[in-house]
Amino acid sequence: MRRQIAVIGYDDQLCTEVARNSAFEVGREIAKAGAVLVCGGLGGVMKAACRGAKEEGGLTVGIIPSDDPSQANEHCDIVVVTGAGFVRDFFVVYSADAVIVVGGGSGTLTELSAAYQKSKPLISVTGTGGVADKFAGQYIDERRNVRVLAARSPSEAVKKALSEIR
């Protein structure tokens, strides 16, 4: 089975150019490594990461919150429609062997927390803002399930994700 790496972060509304560019590069690196990119399938970081993966010939999976597959971004090869709203955040991270965080707001925090509860490897691309910068190098709580590893570049983030997958 191919390794699956989730990319989580800002949606289209809040996405910065820095986060978008970093997500694109993360997607490229995931594809170069032969892993499958998993994401929430919409805009912002999700779309940029999928676009990067597609440009490198990678495989992308978008797990969308609605039951309308046309809402997925055009760079998703496989669209999983859930009709589950924000609950789909759990499907995204549970489907991944590791999770890379690029920027992000409250929805990203939900995904980060879900992955933390399952002790999934978490890697944050620093300098991309939001949740990624806030939790880089930290544990989310006193349980110390897994530290959110800090990566200074998209390439380093993917290398760390791959090395942490058991």
pLDDT, tens digit (0-9, with 9 covering 90-100), for 24-54: 999 999 999 999 999 999 999 999 999 999 9
Place 137 in a pLDDT band, splitting at 50, 70 and 90: very high
In the predicted model, what is the mean pLDDT of residues 67-71? 97
pLDDT band at 142 (very low <50, low <70, confident <90, very high): very high
| Confidence band, pLDDT 50/70/90 cuts, at residue 119 | very high
The confidence score (pLDDT) of residue 143 equals: 96
Strand order in the sheet with 59-64: 78-81, 59-64, 36-39, 4-9, 98-102, 122-125, 148-151
Percent of all residues in the chain with a pLDDT value above 90, rounded to a whole number = 99
Could you tell me which residues are beta bridge partners of residue 6? 38, 99
Average pLDDT of span 96-122: 98
Q: What is the mean pLDDT of residues 134-150?
A: 97
pLDDT at residue 6 in the model? 99
pLDDT score of 67 more than 90: yes
Across the range 104-109, mean pLDDT stands at 97
pLDDT number for residue 145:
96
Residue 166 confidence (pLDDT): 76
Does residue 93 register a pLDDT over 80? yes
In the numeric block, which tokens belong to residue 15? Answer: 């996405």
Average per-residue pLDDT for the chain:
98
Domains of the chain plus CATH, in order, are 4-164 (3.40.50.450)
* H helix or E strand, kind and range, residue 62: strand 59-64
Query: 145, exposed or middle or buried, with CB in 10 Å at 0-12, 13-18, 19+?
Result: middle
Query: Which pTM value belongs to this model?
Result: 0.98
Reduced to 3 states (helix: H, G, I; strand: E, B; else coil), residue 20 is: helix
Residue with tokens 């994401």: 39
